[in-house]
């Protein structure tokens, strides 16, 4: 089996699924998602249910002992040299040891680089596309976005990046200067006036504070329990201005258009001790904040 320890929110889970699924496709082994982290995690829950995932297993009975939930059993597992051994991603950037896995493996990390799944782009994009039935309101927004040749998604990530001091120090938030520079870049590349479709986990803040020289339509009706719907709407836009967020990373990446323009922050982490030179997908512009 290829086992992936899942953790974090929707965007992080998508990276973990993509890395594990690519290894499963390469090796011909079944993919198993280890969801036991969420037995104790209260900030997030498993969030991939609304996507078109492949035939995978969530059966805990097939999993090795958890080092966090059953440390003694896990210690005995390791002492007996049972397989597979838990393989941790080495740092924040692309880890070639993970990509080189060619047999059964149990992996843990964030895997925030398309290099982990570049060999299976078509399958990953298909499987991570939302498949839930559209309600009437989201269907109207989707039709409006698809009909707008100047639609540019703008993502403003706040939430735990603001209210959690540890996260704020680690991630930080994109500045107004970043959004202004990103919009200028996208507009010049488009050769037309963008129409902004703004998405955020704090839409009221966006309505009151996001000031850009363009028409801004705030899409704020989907709450956290329906963030897959925002993912679908964002990815339907022609072009994208993303935050330092795995959620908007995926919204831009899922857009299959070859001519899309994606502006991303040049500095992804506020903490200079964390650097991931592999986070930006090929062709994306890195904009100073």
Q: 100 — alpha (psi -120 to 50), left (phi > 0) or beta?
A: alpha
When the pLDDT of each residue in the chain is averaged and rounded to a whole number, the result is 92
Q: pTM value?
A: 0.94
Average pLDDT of the residues in 170-192? 92
pLDDT more than 70, % of the chain? 96
154, 198 contact by CB (below 8 A): yes
Residue scoring higher pLDDT (246 or 77): 246
The C-alpha atoms of residue 89 and residue 209 are separated, in whole angstroms, by 38
Helices (H), the chain: 10-27, 71-79, 96-99, 121-127, 136-146, 160-163, 165-170, 176-190, 203-209, 227-236, 246-254
pLDDT in tens, 101-111: 999 999 999 99
> What confidence category does residue 152 fall into, taking pLDDT thresholds of 50, 70 and 90?
very high
């Amino acid at each position: 089996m290829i086992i992936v320890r899942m953790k974090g929110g929707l965007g992080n889970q998508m990276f973990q699924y993509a890395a594990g699924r690519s290894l499963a496709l390469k090796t011909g082994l079944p993919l198993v998602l280890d969801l036991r982290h969420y037995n104790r995690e209260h900030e997030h829950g498993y969030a991939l249910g609304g996507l078109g995932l492949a035939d995978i297993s969530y059966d805990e009975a097939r999993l090795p002992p958890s080092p966090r939930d059953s440390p003694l059993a896990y210690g005995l597992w390791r002492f007996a040299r049972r397989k597979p051994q838990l393989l941790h991603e080495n740092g924040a950037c692309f880890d070639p040891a993970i990509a080189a896995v060619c047999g059964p493996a149990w992996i843990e990390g964030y895997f925030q680089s398309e290099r982990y799944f570049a060999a299976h782009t078509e399958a990953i994009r298909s499987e991570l596309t939302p498949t839930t039935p559209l309600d009437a309101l989201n269907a109207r927004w989707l039709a409006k976005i698809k009909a707008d040749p100047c639609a540019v998604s703008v993502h403003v990530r706040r939430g735990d990046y603001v209210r959690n001091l540890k996260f704020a120090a680690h991630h930080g938030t994109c500045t107004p200067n970043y959004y202004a520079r990103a919009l200028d870049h996208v507009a010049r590349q488009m050769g037309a006036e963008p129409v902004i479709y703004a998405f955020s986990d704090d839409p009221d803040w966006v309505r009151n504070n996001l000031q850009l020289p363009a028409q801004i339509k705030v899409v704020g009706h989907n709450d956290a329990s329906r963030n897959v719907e925002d993912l679908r709407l964002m990815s339907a836009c022609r072009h994208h201005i993303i935050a330092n967020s795995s959620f908007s990373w995926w919204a831009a990446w899922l857009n299959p258009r070859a001519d899309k323009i994606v502006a991303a922050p040049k500095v992804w982490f506020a903490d200079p001790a964390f650097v991931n030179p592999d986070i930006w997908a090929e062709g994306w512009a890195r904009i100073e904040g």
